[in-house]
Amino acid sequence: MSLHEITDQQFQAEVLEAKELVLVDFWAPWCGPCRMMAPTLEKVAGQFAGQLKVVKVNVDSNQEWASKFSVRGIPALFFFRAGQPVDNAVGVQSEASLVQRIEKLLATVA
């Protein structure tokens, strides 16, 4: 599957050095809206396999990168390209909204 959990120590290699577009889900196990997003994230990870990498960062045990990107609310979805954040959204996103956002970002690849 294209979706997996990473730690602060893996963030550099998994996200910032990735060749493809990366969607980072900053979440926590106690967060109800985060759990609501999980099936949608799994679905888009499969739908865009090979074009998009989807990773999850548990903010309870991995606070470094959440702090660096000023994550204040969860779920927080950040899109990265070439090591830079290119888009983000906070809160539950519908599948249609997320797919539209991903397609737009993929279409703008130089």
How many other CB atoms are there within 10 angstroms of residue 25's CB atom? 22
- Burial class, 52, CB count within 10 angstroms (exposed 0-12 / middle 13-18 / buried 19+): buried
User: Active-site residue 57, yes or no?
Assistant: no
Opening angle at CA 61, ends 94 and 27, nearest 5: 5
Q: Which of 28, 31, 90, 99 is catalytic?
A: 31
Distances (CA, A) of 20 to 7, 11, 102: 19, 14, 12
User: Active-site residue 26, yes or no?
Assistant: no
Q: Which of 3, 34, 77, 102 is catalytic?
A: 34
Q: Which residues are catalytic?
A: 31, 34
